[in-house]
Chains A and B, each alone.
Chain A
C-alpha cells in the first residue's frame, strides 16, 4: 500500500509547475470558454497546436495526455457517429444503398461474432472495432446477396464529416486542458487553489474553507480506506466469498458484504477523527492560519491576461466570419 498515488500528478519543474494553482484553474476555465466560442475548424486546430506547443514547453509527455483521453473514447465515437449521420449540409461524398436481406444480416452477425471471439487477441482494440464496423457496412452496401426485405440509405455529407471532426477536436482540447491541470498540480495545491477561488461564496454562506477541508480529508483517507477494503475482502474471502466469479446477482450480494462493514468502519473513523480534531482546538468556522499559502507571480498575471484575451478575440472572429 506504499505506492498509491492520488490524482495524476507527475513531478516536474517547468513553468507549468511554478504557476499558482489559482491561475491555472482560472486559465482552464477561460480557455474552455474560448473553445466553445470558436466555430471555425481552422481556428480550433490553431488552438490545438498552441496547446501542443505548451505541452512541449511544459515538458509533459504526450503519452500522458493520450492516457487522459482514454476514458472519453466511447463518447468521442458516439458524437462522431451522430454528427456524421445527422448533419446534412455541404456536398454528398457517399451515397450508398444498404441491402438488408436474410443473408447479409447473417453475414453481419457472423462478423460480429468473429470480432467478439478474436478481439481479446488483438492489441489495437479501437482500430479493430472500427474495422468491424466498416466490414459490416460494406457487407450491406456491396454484397447484396439474397432478396432484400428492406433497404436503407447511407448518405454522408462533407458538412457531417467536418462537424464530427470539429466536435472531436473540441472535446480533445477540453480534456487536454484539464489533464494539464491535474498533471502539474498536486491535489493539495489544487484544493488550496479551489478554496481561495471559492472564497467569494461566503456571501451566500458557503464556507470555502470547510469544502477544502472536506476534500483534503477525503484525499487523505482514500489510501486508508482502500487498505481497509482490501482487509475486509480478504476476511470475506476466507469465509468463502468469491469476489471475482459468479453471476451478477451473486456479485451484488458480495459487494454488499464489502460495503456494509466499510460504511460502519468509516462512521467509526469519522467519529474518532472528529474527536481528535476537536481536541486539537479545531472549531468549524473559526479563523485559522495556514501553513501553506499560494504566491501569485508575474507569470500568473501574464497567463490570465493572455487567456482572457482569447475570449474577445474568439468572439470577434466568430462575428467577422459570420
Chain B
C-alpha cells in the first residue's frame, strides 16, 4: 500500500512540478498514472522510490514513512522499470543484469542463480542469459529489466513509461506481463500517456500540470464525460463514439455496450 500525502516538489527555482498531491494505492491494484509531458508523473515515480526528495508532504510505503534512513527499506519493496531500455541495463550480460539487484541485496550465490533461472524463464529470456545488451531488441531488454525487478521480489512494481520506446510487438509483450504480474498479486503502477495501456488498469490517477485531477476506478473515469474533457486525454475512437452516442441521446443499449466493451480492450 502506498500513501501519498500533500506532496509538493520543484526542481530548484522553477514553479512546482507537483502541487499538493494526495492519493492512496491499495495492495494488489493496478493503477495508471496519466498525464501529458511535464505533468509531473515521472517525478512522482522517482519520489516514491526515493530518487528525489519531496519538498513538502510525506510518502508512506507499507507503513514505512519514506525518509533518508528508510529509503533503502522502501526500495526493497518497490521496483521500477524505466523508459529507456539501454540506460537501465547495468550488467555486461543478461545474466549479470538480472543478478545486479540481488547482488546488491547480498543474496547468496545459490539463491541468485536459482532466481535468475526462474525469472528468466518467466519473461522468456532463458535462452539469452549469456547475450550482451547490444545483441537484444528493446523489448527483450525491457523483459530483462522486469526479470531483474521480479528477482528482487518487490511487492510493488512501477513502470515508468516502460513501453514508450518499444515497437508495437514489444509493447504488447510488456502489457501482457503487466497483466500476468497483476494476477500474481503484485501492486502495479504504470506511468503512461497511452490510453490503451490505461484501460487495462483498475484505477486511473490523472495529473495535470502537477495537480491531481481525478483518481477513480478506470471504468468510472472513462464514463465521466466532465473529467475526461478537463484532462485532455487522447481517447480511443470507440470511446469517443460511445460518448457521442450517449450525448446525442440515441438509445441503443446494445450498440452502446458494444462500444464500451471495445474501449476496454487493448
* Chain A contact residues, CB within 8 Å of chain B: 1-2, 4, 187-188, 216-217, 219-220, 223-224, 227, 269, 272-273, 275-283, 286-293
Contact = CB atoms under 8 A, between A and B. Distances in A.
Report, nearest first, the 7 A-B pairs whose CB atoms are least far apart: A276-B88, A223-B134, A272-B87, A280-B101, A291-B99, A281-B104, A288-B103
Majority SS at the chain B contact face: helix
A1 B134 contact: yes
Nearest to A187: B92
A180 to B, nearest CB: 22
A281 B109 CA distance: 17
Interface of B: 46, 49, 51, 72, 75-76, 79-80, 82, 84, 86-93, 95-96, 99-109, 112-113, 116, 132-135, 148-149, 152
A276 B82 contact: yes
Contact of B92 (A220, A278, A289): A220
A43 B92 CA distance: 42
A186 to B, nearest CB: 9
Contact of A280 (B46, B90, B96, B112): B90
A293 to B, nearest CB: 7
Contacts of B82: 272, 275-276, 279
B108 to A, nearest CB: 7
Given A1-B134, A188-B92, A280-B79, A286 B104 contact: yes
B106 A290 contact: no
Contact of A279 (B75, B99, B103, B109): B75
Contact of A281 (B75, B88, B95, B116): B75
A308 to B, nearest CB: 31
A272 B81 CA distance: 12
Nearest to B145: A276
27 contacts: A188-B92, A217-B90, A220-B132, A223-B132, A224-B86, A224-B134, A269-B86, A269-B87, A272-B88, A276-B82, A276-B87, A278-B75, A279-B49, A279-B75, A279-B82, A280-B90, A280-B101, A280-B104, A280-B148, A280-B152, A281-B101, A281-B152, A283-B104, A289-B102, A289-B106, A291-B109, A291-B113
Contacts, number: 96
Contact of A289 (B75, B76, B87, B109): B109
Contacts of A1: 134
A59 to B, nearest CB: 22
B92 A219 contact: yes
Nearest to A217: B90
A280 B144 CA distance: 13
A220 B82 CA distance: 18
Contacts of A286: 104
B162 to A, nearest CB: 12
Given A277-B100, A280-B148, A280-B149, 10 more contacts: A187-B92, A188-B92, A188-B93, A276-B80, A277-B90, A278-B75, A281-B101, A283-B104, A290-B103, A291-B96
Nearest to B106: A289
A219 B132 CA distance: 11
A283 B100 CA distance: 12
A199 B135 CA distance: 32
Residue from A276, A280, A282 with most neighbouring chain B CB atoms (10 Å)? A280
A288 B135 CA distance: 27
Contacts of A283: 72, 104
Nearest to B149: A280
A2 B134 contact: yes
Nearest to B95: A291
Nearest to A280: B101
B92 A288 contact: no
